[in-house]
Amino acid sequence: MHKLVLDQLEDDQAQDVVSIPLEGKSSIADFMVIGSGRSTRQVASMAQKLAENLKKAGYGPVRLEGLPAADWVLVDAGDVVVHLFRPEVRSFYNLERMWAFGDAPPVGDS
């Protein structure tokens, strides 16, 4: 599921994608993935497409929160929780800092 999420966000041109492993550190999920879209329209589109593709892949019902405004949309797929933001909203909440246990490099960085 984690790979599907990362691949889908890459296909949808999400910006600054970060994956934070939570396994053994939190019971809410195994991974938290955070990404940005350039506009509310892109954020909403990425969230809806991700939810559809997770469901098609057999990962069950996916919950979406925050879709009407689409400044910050939560995609709760159980083992993977995805936060999609507009850049200004993301910098305000700074979830990476709150949830990162050590450094959480952007996906693809070493």
Is domain 2-99 annotated with CATH 3.30.1370.100? Answer: no
Mean of pLDDT values over 63-70? 95
**Per-residue model confidence (pLDDT) at position 108:** 54
Beta carbons within 8 Å of 86's beta carbon, 6+ residues apart? 36, 37, 38, 39, 40, 43, 70, 71, 72
Of 65 and 103, which is predicted with more confidence? 65
**Per-residue model confidence (pLDDT) at position 24:** 81
**Per-residue model confidence (pLDDT) at position 44:** 97
**Considering the entire predicted model, what is its pTM?**
0.87
Beta carbons within 8 Å of 27's beta carbon, 6+ residues apart? none
**Per-residue model confidence (pLDDT) at position 23:** 84
**Domain ranges within the chain, ordered by starting residue:** 2-99
Is it the case that residue 48 has pLDDT exceeding 60?
Answer: yes
Taking only the tens place, the pLDDT of each residue in 76-86 is 999 999 999 99
Residue 108's φ and ψ, nearest 5 degrees, are 95, -15
**Per-residue model confidence (pLDDT) at position 107:** 59
